[in-house]
Structure 1
Amino acid sequence: MKIYYLFILNILRFICYIFNLIKKNFIKLCLVTSIIITFFFIIYIKNYNLHDNEKKALLLNINGIIFENNNNIFWGKFGLSLFKIKNKKFLTNTLFNIVKIIHLANNNKNIIGMVLKLNNFLGADQVSLEYIGKALNQFKKNGKYIYAISNNYKLAQYYLASYANKIFIYPNGLIDLYGSNNDKIYYKSLLNKLKINTHIFRIGLNKTAIEPNIYDSMPNKTKKIENKLYSKLWLNYIYDIVKNRNLKPYELTLKKKDFLINFLNKKYINKYNLKYKIIDKILSYKKTKEEFIKIFGLNKKKNNYKFIHFYKYKIKQILKKNDNIISVIFINGKILNYNNSYQNINNSLIINKLKKARLNSKVKAVILRINSPGGSISASENIRNEILNLKLSGKPVIVSMSNLTASGGYWISTPANIIIADKNTITGSIGVFSVINTYEKILNFIGINYDGLNLFPNLNLKPNKSLTPFLSKIIELNIKNGYEHFIKLICKNRHLTPIEVNRIGQGQLFLGEEAKKLKLIDKIGDFDDAVKQAVKITKLKQWHLNWVI
């Protein structure tokens, strides 16, 4: 007991000591605190450019790939280590952040133009490129010039560059605009050599995802289907560039023969590019800097033109908070019951976000931004049910389709009040499949055998044993039931007959405009159109977006 009281006494003594120490040094502590606050305030002012009235350019120097949102940056440590990228800025390229900064710079009187530097830009999907292009056009309409510069231009780089007033290229640079591709790995022979037994179950003759398991090359039928799809995407790409640069389609690319003959003579190719206004100037790094100094002025300290870097441009927008929220929920990647990869969606995480939106009285509408090839039937159905609950609670649900919203991605879209897709959105793929690999042959070959008691051998799915006829039949019935449920959902929500849905089903893919004709979507548009629809349905006069990460 004595030890206990001594322990309490020591604690009280320590508290008194600290109190007296603070009392004696109160003035010193206040002084130190004031110095720290002043220091951070100076940094704040410097970072946020509160007193910077200097005219300059916005340097939009995009490093890496553009993603939909932070959760969609699936490269993570894997991608950075794979490409030996150490620059953390590769993780900050989110589509809506880029567009927001372009809009803020457009409204900033001190930003008088833009330098679109594309040397380190690694690409983005076509829908994202279009959306950025729209923001660049709005920037130009405000009388602000855009100058694009790069050592080389590939498809994505040149697409963004085409929105610039002037396109510059470094000497010996190349413009590579020779179509898109959709290469796939086929490994039937590998599976055979490894003695892996593949069991395929599908409804949807055009469900091509299973083909790598059963072919060594792309079937002719699939080539025809994909050629039609990607040719249309290519024409849309060409049309935008031709429109932006005021060109003729045949001027945009050299013929194969001419390209091969003149490939080594880069000066000839760039003369061709200059002649047909594919580029505006060929400039060295030094000449480019001099050109921009003439336009934007000289920064004497840095001996360079005056600019503010995109990554240092602080978003200072003051949001007028109110009680009317339009929530934006991203659904990016494969839809699964678990998340075992950097590019999958854990359905429970999405369901929790949807529940929070439903239960939050301040949320008046929800925009689902979907970029998914599909996934598990059960995971997709779980998400769809929660979206339906959200809709039945009286809150409008607007689906904004990104680059790809197919199969399970379309499944979860069906309950929405309105479905909006871009002209280049790939959607459809109404069908169901399952691929099950078993390894009994290779295990037997290397001398590994399994044995034991099993009360229900016909119902046991094990990778070390082939599927029994009974189990195969059960899986077939599950696939059939899943497909029939998919058809019913589309019939009910899209007001189509089973015959109409079966005609456009079977795993077929469609671009946005064709999907609209087939009544799979309601409107062609982008994310901004989805916001407008949410405001229109809810009749809100004041609102703000809540980006659910």
Structure 2
Amino acid sequence: MNFLRNLLAAIIGFFIAFFLLIFLFVIIGTVVGSDQEVVVKSNSILELDLSTPIKDYAPKDENPLGELLGLVDEKLALNKIINAIDNAKTDSNIKGISIKSTSINAGIAQTQAIRNKLEEFKESGKFVFAYNDVYDQKSYYLSSVADSLFLNPVGAIDFKGLSSEILYYKDFEDKYGIKMEVIRHGKYKSAVEPYLENKMSEANREQITSFLNSIWSEITEDVSQSRNITVENLNLIADASEGRNAELAKKNNLIDAAIYEDEYESKLKSIADASKVELISIEDYITSGKGRKSSVAKNKIAVIYAQGQIMYGEGNEDIIGQGIINKAIKKAVKDKNVKAIVLRVNSPGGSALASELIWRELELAKKEKPLVVSMGNLAASGGYYIACNADKIIAEPTTITGSIGVFGAIPNAYEFANDIGINAEQVRTNKSADYSVFEPMDEKFYTITKEGVEQIYTTFVTRVATGRKMSFEDVNEIAQGRVWTGKEAIEKGLVDELGSLDDAIKTAAELAEVDNYRVRNYPSYKKDFKDALKFSPFAKVRKEEILKEALGEESYRMFNNINQMKNLKGVQARMPFLIEIK
């Protein structure tokens, strides 16, 4: 009896101590956080290092223990970066901008948006300099906007053009007897092609070549204008890899000089006309309050961020679910001070059902307030589904969009099970179509599933035709799962204008006929108490990192692609996400 009493007392004591410790951590975190005020000093230079993952929208983590224990994912918000650069134009403490980023952890469209904002910054008369030991292609694209661009004397520039690699699994499936049963509509719906073929189809090669050339033309035209090199010569430089060392890079005008970092720092002092300069990171500048636009305007433009793959359910910061997104739409509609809505889409698509539910909520919202869509890196398949009924669609030139097509994919291990001596037997009460992963797909199940895929495809095309004021036949002609860049999509009638999120917000304000307004970002991602307690140090070690280390980069890519397909539920409106641009 004494043993049980002592055991119960120990358990109760443990939990009391546990919650007191949590309370203490929260208090300490609040005190420490309140002391971390960032002040922008005079003669400061804003340092742009974009190697931290960049998301369109990255609200602050509300876990009270996360930041204190170092368990918060590092991330930068594109909207805050844009605002910070904009604010730096008129900030008397900021002399100029220094770009020092070996890699850019952002998509091409996001990178182009930042580059365009840096072009605007230069109009203020302040300088933009760039330096690096080595430039990869994306970091060079961004850095080429600089007034002066420098490279380490033993450095290099990886300027070689764009390429894409796709892994095909058909022979692997045949060898091991585990495959994906695929039912699709759209000859370009290449998300599932690697499970059906052992090499690239001509249709897929055609679309990849088309959008790679479109994106590359944007990059070369921008670099050409900034570096005063013809597009023709840039392609010759890329063909011969003539940025592979500092001497060639200088000879071909890719850089202004090959210097060491200490020499670069001296140049910064000279251009800033100061014996001492203060470097302030983009993260700290945002923390100081410069990542937002100050306004006391009563009128608001709501910006609703839909980022990540689309999945049926509540959703979160990385997954678009109809739960969170539809709540945000309803809040924006209900707020009488919100005069228009901008939907910022950055998604490869996903669940057709969730896409339809979000489409419906946007259709209702559009009857109340103007609706404008801004497209980020991706607004394809389901991402385009939720965008197609807007009053106006604005995309970046390098946005990947379209992919109007659907598919269903179901894993099947019948041959594998048969080879290792496993036999599955079923008992059922009715003759309805059924499916077992351990049996071949029968014709009745295929027919019913194909009917569902065709029905959703027809609905998808109809939604686009209605939203874009086109005929079903015209949409069907450019659909079939075909992917387009933003620049190509304008020619096809899928997009109205090329521009940034700022352009979309201005357009929404014009449609609402308001001049003075402020931006209200949605959705808010609130954690309940149970989620706030998820602070185990082991949570920081992601399974992806463990798998990458164990399998290697290429094997991990194969595993991840198969795993994503395995976890898909229901008919999918999804872009060919297996494409990787290098």
TM-score norm. by structure 2 comes to 0.77
Query: Which residue of the other structure, out of 338, 351, 374, is the alignment partner of 2:349?
Result: 374
Query: Which residue of the other structure, out of 207, 222, 228, is the alignment partner of 2:204?
Result: 222
Q: Distance in 1 between matches of 2:363 and 2:226?
A: 42
Q: Distance in 1 between matches of 2:316 and 2:201?
A: 29
Equivalent residue, structure 1, for 2:53: 65
Q: Distance in 2 between matches of 1:107 and 1:253?
A: 37
When residues 356 and 255 of structure 1 are mapped into structure 2, their CA distance, relative to the original with a 3 A threshold, is closer
Equivalent residue, structure 2, for 1:312: 284
Asked if the contact 2:314–2:324 (Cα under 8 Å) also holds between the matched residues in 1, the reply is: no
Q: Which of the pair has more CA radius of gyration?
A: 1
Equivalent residue, structure 2, for 1:444: 418
| 1:299-338 correspondence to structure 2 within 5 Å | 305-313=277-285, 314-316=288-290, 319-338=294-313
- Report the CA distance between 1:40 and its aligned residue: 8.7
Give the 3-state SS of the residue equivalent to 1:225 in structure 2. helix
Q: Distance in 1 between matches of 2:133 and 2:314?
A: 39
Query: Which residue type is aligned with residue 443 of structure 1?
Result: A
537-546 vs 517-526, which deviates more? Answer: 517-526
Query: Which residue type is aligned with residue 153 of structure 1?
Result: Y
Matching of residue 365 in structure 1 with residue 318 in structure 2: no
Query: Which residue of the other structure, out of 92, 100, 103, is the alignment partner of 1:117?
Result: 100
Equivalent residue, structure 2, for 1:168: 150
Q: Distance in 2 between matches of 1:99 and 1:256?
A: 30
Query: Which residue type is aligned with residue 224 of structure 1?
Result: E
Q: CA RMSD in A?
A: 2.8
When residues 90 and 122 of structure 1 are mapped into structure 2, their CA distance, relative to the original with a 3 A threshold, is farther
When residues 543 and 233 of structure 1 are mapped into structure 2, their CA distance, relative to the original with a 3 A threshold, is same
Q: Distance in 2 between matches of 1:256 and 1:327?
A: 43
Q: Distance in 2 between matches of 1:440 and 1:106?
A: 63
Equivalent residue, structure 1, for 2:518: 544
Matching of residue 131 in structure 1 with residue 113 in structure 2: yes
When residues 503 and 483 of structure 1 are mapped into structure 2, their CA distance, relative to the original with a 3 A threshold, is same
Asked if the contact 2:406–2:456 (Cα under 8 Å) also holds between the matched residues in 1, the reply is: yes
Equivalent residue, structure 2, for 1:350: 325
| 1:143-222 correspondence to structure 2 within 5 Å | 143-222=125-204
Query: Which residue type is aligned with residue 429 of structure 1?
Result: S
Query: Which residue of the other structure, out of 44, 51, 74, is the alignment partner of 1:91?
Result: 74
Query: Which residue type is aligned with residue 367 of structure 1?
Result: V
Equivalent residue, structure 2, for 1:512: 486
Equivalent residue, structure 1, for 2:38: 47
When residues 64 and 254 of structure 1 are mapped into structure 2, their CA distance, relative to the original with a 3 A threshold, is farther
For structure 1, list consecutive stretches of 5 or more residues without a partner in the other structure: 1-35, 74-85
Question: Could you report, residue by residue, the CA deviation over 1:308-363 in whole angstroms, capped at 9, with x for unpaired residues?
Answer: 22222112567333432211111112211147999532222212211222222222
- Report the CA distance between 1:207 and its aligned residue: 1.0
Q: Distance in 1 between matches of 2:222 and 2:190?
A: 29
Q: Distance in 2 between matches of 1:41 and 1:504?
A: 53
When residues 312 and 201 of structure 1 are mapped into structure 2, their CA distance, relative to the original with a 3 A threshold, is same
Q: Distance in 1 between matches of 2:216 and 2:90?
A: 34
Asked if the contact 1:327–1:547 (Cα under 8 Å) also holds between the matched residues in 2, the reply is: yes
Question: Could you report, residue by residue, the CA deviation over 1:206-233 in whole angstroms, capped at 9, with x for unpaired residues?
Answer: 1111111012222234223311221121
| 1:378-527 correspondence to structure 2 within 5 Å | 378-392=353-367, 394-527=368-501
Asked if the contact 1:124–1:156 (Cα under 8 Å) also holds between the matched residues in 2, the reply is: no
Query: Which residue type is aligned with residue 499 of structure 2?
Result: G
When residues 365 and 188 of structure 1 are mapped into structure 2, their CA distance, relative to the original with a 3 A threshold, is same
499-508 vs 237-246, which deviates more? Answer: 499-508
- Report the CA distance between 1:299 and its aligned residue: 7.0
* Greater relative CO, 1 or 2 (CA 8 Å, sep 6+): 2
Give the 3-state SS of the residue equivalent to 1:532 in structure 2. helix
- Report the CA distance between 1:250 and its aligned residue: 3.9
- Report the CA distance between 1:241 and its aligned residue: 0.3
Q: Distance in 1 between matches of 2:417 and 2:174?
A: 14
Identical-pair percentage: 29
Q: Distance in 2 between matches of 1:209 and 1:41?
A: 45
Asked if the contact 1:413–1:419 (Cα under 8 Å) also holds between the matched residues in 2, the reply is: yes
Give the 3-state SS of the residue equivalent to 1:536 in structure 2. helix
Asked if the contact 1:61–1:310 (Cα under 8 Å) also holds between the matched residues in 2, the reply is: yes
Give the 3-state SS of the residue equivalent to 1:209 in structure 2. coil
Asked if the contact 1:105–1:111 (Cα under 8 Å) also holds between the matched residues in 2, the reply is: yes
Equivalent residue, structure 1, for 2:261: 285
Asked if the contact 1:331–1:371 (Cα under 8 Å) also holds between the matched residues in 2, the reply is: yes
Equivalent residue, structure 1, for 2:249: 273
When residues 72 and 186 of structure 1 are mapped into structure 2, their CA distance, relative to the original with a 3 A threshold, is farther
Asked if the contact 1:72–1:343 (Cα under 8 Å) also holds between the matched residues in 2, the reply is: no
Q: Distance in 2 between matches of 1:226 and 1:333?
A: 22
- Report the CA distance between 1:255 and its aligned residue: 5.5
Q: Distance in 2 between matches of 1:235 and 1:90?
A: 34
Q: Distance in 1 between matches of 2:317 and 2:509?
A: 34
Give the 3-state SS of the residue equivalent to 1:436 in structure 2. strand
Asked if the contact 2:307–2:317 (Cα under 8 Å) also holds between the matched residues in 1, the reply is: no
- Report the CA distance between 1:251 and its aligned residue: 3.5
Question: Could you report, residue by residue, the CA deviation over 1:58-77 in whole angstroms, capped at 9, with x for unpaired residues?
Answer: 1222333322122799xxxx
Give the 3-state SS of the residue equivalent to 1:123 in structure 2. coil
Q: Distance in 2 between matches of 1:190 and 1:342?
A: 35
Q: Distance in 1 between matches of 2:333 and 2:176?
A: 50
Asked if the contact 1:425–1:511 (Cα under 8 Å) also holds between the matched residues in 2, the reply is: yes
- Report the CA distance between 1:252 and its aligned residue: 3.0
Give the 3-state SS of the residue equivalent to 2:191 in structure 1. helix
Asked if the contact 2:407–2:453 (Cα under 8 Å) also holds between the matched residues in 1, the reply is: yes
Asked if the contact 2:109–2:398 (Cα under 8 Å) also holds between the matched residues in 1, the reply is: yes
Give the 3-state SS of the residue equivalent to 2:350 in structure 1. coil
Equivalent residue, structure 2, for 1:529: 503
Equivalent residue, structure 1, for 2:122: 140
Question: Could you report, residue by residue, the CA deviation over 1:213-267 in whole angstroms, capped at 9, with x for unpaired residues?
Answer: 01222223422331122112111110110011111224436658854xx89xx6x
523-532 vs 139-148, which deviates more? Answer: 523-532
Give the 3-state SS of the residue equivalent to 2:135 in structure 1. coil
When residues 196 and 518 of structure 1 are mapped into structure 2, their CA distance, relative to the original with a 3 A threshold, is same
| 1:25-36 correspondence to structure 2 within 5 Å | none
Query: Which residue type is aligned with residue 184 of structure 1?
Result: I
Asked if the contact 1:324–1:543 (Cα under 8 Å) also holds between the matched residues in 2, the reply is: yes
| 1:10-25 correspondence to structure 2 within 5 Å | none
Asked if the contact 1:67–1:124 (Cα under 8 Å) also holds between the matched residues in 2, the reply is: yes
Q: Distance in 2 between matches of 1:58 and 1:88?
A: 27
- Report the CA distance between 1:111 and its aligned residue: 1.0
